[in-house]
Amino acid sequence: MRVVTLTNIVDVLSVAVGGMRVRRRVESLMAASALLSVSSCMTVSASVVPTAAGGVPEAVEKVRVSALGVPDGARELGLVEAHSAVAPLERIVDEVKQRAAAMGANLICIDKMATRYEWINSMCGNQPCRYEAGTLSVLGHAYRFDKESR
Partner 1 sequence: MKRATWIFVVALVAGCGTVQTSRVMTGSSQPAYGGNVSVLMDGVALPRNAVEVALVSSRGTGTMAKLEDVIAGLQAEAGSLGCDCVARVKFDQGATIATATGVCLKTH
Residues that bind partner 1 (CB under 8 A): 12-13, 15-18, 64-68, 88-90, 93, 110, 113-117, 132, 134, 136
Residues whose CB is less than 8 angstroms from the CB of residue 20 and which lie 6 or more positions away in sequence, other chains included? 14
Smallest distance from partner 1 to CB 65, Å: 5
- Given the complex with partner 1, which of 53 and 89 has the nearer CB atom? 89
Smallest distance from partner 1 to CB 53, Å: 27
Cβ atoms of residues 25 and 70 within 8 Å: no
Smallest distance from partner 1 to CB 116, Å: 7
Smallest distance from partner 1 to CB 98, Å: 14
- Given the complex with partner 1, which of 12 and 49 has the nearer CB atom? 12
Torsion angles phi and psi, residue 90, rounded to 5: -55, -45
* Residue 28 to residue 70: CA distance in whole angstroms: 47
- Given the complex with partner 1, which of 54 and 140 has the nearer CB atom? 140
Nearest to 101 by CA among 150, 65, 147: 65
- Given the complex with partner 1, which of 20 and 56 has the nearer CB atom? 20
Angle at 22 between CA 19 and CA 26, to 5 degrees: 140
